[in-house]
Amino acid sequence: MKFTKSLLLLGILFSISESTVAQKTWKEIITIEDLYAHYPATIEDMFNDFNLDHPGFEKVKAAKERGDMVEASGYLLEYYKNSPVAQDLRKTNLAITDKTEAEADTILNNVFVVQNVRGQVPYGDDGHRDWYYKGPNNDREWAWLSNRHSQLSQVFSTYFDTGNPKYVQYIDLFLRDFIIKSMPYPAQKSSTSVWRGLEVAARAKVWTRIFYGLIDNEYFSPATRLLILSSLPDHAHYNRNFHGGNNWLTMEISALATIAANFPEYTKSSEWLDYAIGAMTESMKDQVYADGVQTELTSHYHNVSLHNFELFKEICDKANKTLPDFYTQTIEDMYSYIAHAVRPSGFRILNNDGDRGSDRNLILSGAEKFNKTEWEYIASNGNSGTQPLAGPSYFFPWAGQMISRSGFDADAHWSFFDMGPWGSGHQHNDKLHISISAYGKDFLVDAGRFAYTGEVAEKFRPYARGSQGHNVILIDQMGQNAGPTHAEEPLGDTFYKITDDFDYASNSFDRFIDVEGEAKHIRSVFYVRGEFWVVVDKVLTDKPRKIDALWHWHPECIVEQDGLIVKTNHERGNLAVIPLGGHKFEIAFVKGQETPDIQGWYSPEYNLFEPNIASIYSTEIKENTTFVWLLLPSDAQMSPVSAEILSENDKEVQIDVKSDKEGWRIHIPFMNSKDAKLTRH
């Protein structure tokens, strides 16, 4: 293996060099001569990775065959300086200034902000940064992500904003530190901070931009350039041989293609690119449903996969490699999903291991690429573009997600009802969860993801993944177990119905953790367009049970109780949860609870969290029981409304709702959409 040869040669040559070469620290290794004197095996192995018969390599090959590695290295860097490859990545040097940017200067002090947590990377006794430092929360995610070198992208951009050479000098020293410290490449699958697949992939993309962007910059040393060229084949080898699946594959294989396309001089570049095309296209088939939703069913990672699918297509286009027609169509379908699922505020669904980020600019970008003026209309709240012919509500049958809307304006009602499979990764136990927004506010929310590892995760991770952090029902205080990871077929039209006047969707779940006997939860959601939601929960049981119905409110909501009604009290934009049917509930407001169990917390982004109110309706049942909830949004204070259950049987609930202006007779079936009906009176 390459790395064992490197170790052997390094050991032999190091003992010789003690008497023949004045030893320098890694910081002092700047020239080609310095690098070869201290790490000769690294240079020799690097040349073994190149196709020396590549056009333009004539001088490189001749010097290498003469055994003059220093001269060969010089010709190699000269080749890259003048090569026609990667013209889109090359940048013009700026006039020198002393301009600075405070945020980038913080990075220059090795203070990195990783997933909203600020930490300063310490130095070890050997003078190298501690590339395994886990941040102030002892979070291995912090160590992983800091090794993706996204902080260098920021410093790189700052240089081209300012022209201050100190930013290039930092990049130069940073990369020399990292590459030397990371040697030798282990050539095996790893989960370490330095050699895990996602970090390997991310670095390859960052380094490629830096290498070509600073190709003619005097402050970017020859030694660092050569170290990058020596290390990129190791990164390609890792991503070729040890990549994962799902969104990991999209990131790792797009990195492999990045190296192959931008460095065609490597002997294996053509082979890498061919492999990448095969792996990426097959993965796309496996990880994107026919309705355009990535199978992890996590809006955040849907976007990660979309970004890397697009990046891969750009790479192949640049390399004149043709992808199958379905590849571009799938990218379009993935854009279509986020365009039709987005909240009126522009923020995406917060579900599973996701963040509540804005998708507005991403959708507008997709609308421009695919000439979809209806996406532009949705993302701009109707301020530009063309109003969609379909909608405003949409159902995604493979993902099992119902998006209900009153319209596309900024104040529109919006809900997300999750009735699909568990997901192929990053799952939460939240089937039949519902989120609701209206009048530019989030009301009923998912708890979010908090963190994966470290102190925050130790405290909140079970809550984030568990049913207790979602708007579902607990049976005997127990939440849901894992469900099927994938949909074997789309949900048929018996599960949902969308009309001009209403939306209907229904599904069930029966895998509860450590619940004795048989228990099944059926939830039907009926949205009367522009008016209100009705949620019907039917619990089938073979014995008496304790039932807890959970409603989690956004932290900014002012929530109060009025008898059995729980509602917000805002000057503008409100929602009320109104139970029907005369059940005897105990209602608890839980906010920021840590003992005996975590409850009443909300995380809009990784490592960010705050208390929120969970209003919990609790009751005892002896047999099969149906609960009906009227979820009433209002622009101002709650309008006078009367509602009652007219009838109930094994197949449906029939209710009547009246306001001071209108009345609605609603038939809500438990599992058959054809029986869903609405009449006005």
H, E, C per residue of 14-83: HHHHHHHCCCCCHHHCCCHHHHHHHCHHHHHHHHHCECCCCCCCHHHHHHHHCCCHHHHHHHHHHHHHHC
Whether residue 420 contacts residue 283, with contact meaning beta carbons closer than 8 Å, is answered with no
CATH 2.70.98.70 residue ranges for the chain: 394-636
Tokens of 46: 């690097």
What's 632's DSSP letter? E
CA end-to-end distance (rounded Å), the chain:
80
Positions of CATH 1.50.10.100 in the chain: 1-242
Read off the pLDDT of residues 583-603 as tens digits, 9 standing for 90 and up: 999 999 999 999 999 999 999
Fold (topology level) of 1-242: Glycosyltransferase (1.50.10)
Tell me which architecture the domain covering 394-636 has in CATH: Distorted Sandwich (2.70)
Q: Give the single-character DSSP code of 311.
A: H
Residue 3 has pLDDT above 80, yes or no: no
Q: What is the DSSP letter of 268?
A: T
pLDDT > 90: what percent of the chain?
95
Q: Over the chain, what is the mean pLDDT? A: 95
Q: Please compute the mean of the pLDDT values over residues 26-51 and round it to a whole number.
A: 97
Nearest C-alpha neighbor of 10 from the set 50, 41, 36: 41
Per-residue pLDDT of 64-121, as tens digits, reads: 999 999 999 999 999 999 999 999 999 998 999 999 999 999 999 999 999 999 999 9
Residue 13 has pLDDT above 70, yes or no: no
What does the pLDDT read at residue 480? 98
pLDDT reported for residue 638:
80
Q: What is the per-residue pLDDT for 23? A: 86
Q: What is the pLDDT of residue 515?
A: 96
Q: How many CA atoms lie within 13 A of 545 on its CB side?
A: 27
Asked whether residue 18 carries a pLDDT value surpassing 50, the answer given is: no
Q: How many CA atoms lie within 13 A of 603 on its CB side?
A: 29
Using DSSP's 3-state secondary structure scheme, residue 243 falls into coil
Cis peptide before 392 (omega within 30 of 0): yes
Give the whole-angstrom CA distance, residue 353 versus residue 425.
Answer: 9
Confidence of residue 14 (pLDDT cuts 50, 70, 90): very low
* pLDDT score for 8: 41
Question: pLDDT at position 21, please?
Answer: 56
Distance CA 479, CA 484 (A): 16
Dump pLDDT digits (tens) for 300-338: 999 999 999 999 999 999 999 999 999 999 999 999 999
Residue 6's pLDDT band (boundaries 50, 70, 90)? very low
pLDDT tens for 619-674 read 999 999 999 999 999 998 888 899 999 999 999 999 999 998 899 999 999 999 99
Q: Is the pLDDT of residue 7 over 90?
A: no
Helical axes 166-182 vs 150-162, angle rounded to 10° = 160
pLDDT band at 567 (very low <50, low <70, confident <90, very high): very high
Six token digits for residue 504: 């209907």
Reference 497, options 669, 356, 618, 371; nearest CA is: 669
Residue 562 carries which DSSP code?
E
Task: Give residue 5's pLDDT.
Answer: 42
What is the helix (H) or strand (E) element at residue 601, kind and residue range? strand 601-605
pLDDT tens column, 326-382: 999 999 999 999 999 999 999 999 999 999 999 999 999 999 999 999 999 999 999
Q: What is the mean pLDDT of residues 403-423?
A: 98
Alpha-carbon distance values, 538 to 417, 474, 551, 621, 626 (Å): 16, 13, 17, 11, 4
Nearest to 184 by CA among 1, 310, 342: 1
Over 70: is that where the pLDDT of 499 sits? yes
In angstroms, rounded to a whole number, what is the distance separating the alpha carbons of residues 80 and 510? 61
Q: And the tokens for 250? A: 């999209």
pLDDT tens-place string over residues 177-203: 999 999 999 999 999 999 999 999 999
Closest CA to 228 of 205, 213, 211: 211
